[in-house]
Chain A
């Protein structure tokens, strides 16, 4: 699986959009970009995933650049409950050998009032 690079931490204001960048310059054509988050001491939670088109769900939007070498997770109206560590993971979507995830350090996001 391709390696990802994320900022170690970032702050954002409550009610504003939070834009979380991720670099994955070695991504392969069949690899998807997945985002998970981990709220303090809880198990990671799936947020969204995409291949090359922009994706949106009830939690967030995912913007992938045309060359697919980077992406941005957007939390449209950050709340205090969005304070968490956010992980960007690149992976082949479904694998017969198991949909294993490789977690890096992630971005520690602090939403401030």
Chain B
């Protein structure tokens, strides 16, 4: 199993541009999450999903959109990129049962200039 795969790993955007961060998992997890991490800080939840077709806002959703059309994929869309969105973005997934631990991807480092 590849686990949680994120693409791209690095991206530089200009202010006002849009892009989509891709996340896919092959563990058949129902729950998926997007976090962002600013330098020297802990992770903050942007959006999460408990299953295909169901998404909800986390702590810092402004400036982002998500969709969940399949169990495997949970893309994060940035509209009108701003310097404040410069961050490392982590996607994660988990089972709805058992220990409930989250499995994280390797991150996508985004710089907005």
Query: Which residues of A does B touch, CB under 8 Å?
Result: 34, 36, 41-46, 49, 87, 91, 93-106
With A42-B107, A46-B102, A93-B100 already in contact, the answer to whether A100 and B42 are too (CB < 8 A) is no
Give bound CA distance, A98 to B44, whole Å: 15
Give bound CA distance, A49 to B99, whole Å: 8
Given A42, A96, A104, which contacts B42 in the complex, CB threshold below 8 Å? A104
Count residues on chain B whose CB falls below 8 Å from chain A CBs.
30
Q: Which residue on B lies nearest to A93, using beta carbons?
A: B100
Taking a contact as CB atoms under 8 Å apart, the answer to whether A105 and B42 are in contact is yes
Given B31, B96, B100, B102, which contacts A44 in the complex, CB threshold below 8 Å? B102
Taking a contact as CB atoms under 8 Å apart, the answer to whether B48 and A98 are in contact is yes
Q: Which residues of B contact A103 (CB under 8 A)?
A: 35, 42-44
Taking a contact as CB atoms under 8 Å apart, the answer to whether A101 and B102 are in contact is yes
Give bound CA distance, A42 to B108, whole Å: 10
Query: Which residues of B does A touch, CB under 8 Å?
Result: 4, 31, 33, 35, 41-45, 48-50, 56, 58, 88, 90, 92, 94, 96-107
Q: Which residues of A contact B45 (CB under 8 A)?
A: 100-102
Smallest Cβ distance from A3 to chain B, in angstroms?
Answer: 13
Give the most central of B90, B100, B106: most A CB within 10 Å: B100
With A100-B33, A103-B44, A104-B42 already in contact, the answer to whether A43 and B104 are too (CB < 8 A) is yes
Taking a contact as CB atoms under 8 Å apart, the answer to whether A43 and B42 are in contact is no
Given A42, A94, A102, which contacts B100 in the complex, CB threshold below 8 Å? A94
Smallest Cβ distance from A60 to chain B, in angstroms?
Answer: 14
Give bound CA distance, A42 to B31, whole Å: 20
Q: Which residues of A contact B96 (CB under 8 A)?
A: 94, 96, 99
Closest 8 pairs (CB-CB, A-B): A43-B104, A103-B42, A46-B101, A99-B100, A103-B43, A94-B100, A98-B48, A99-B94
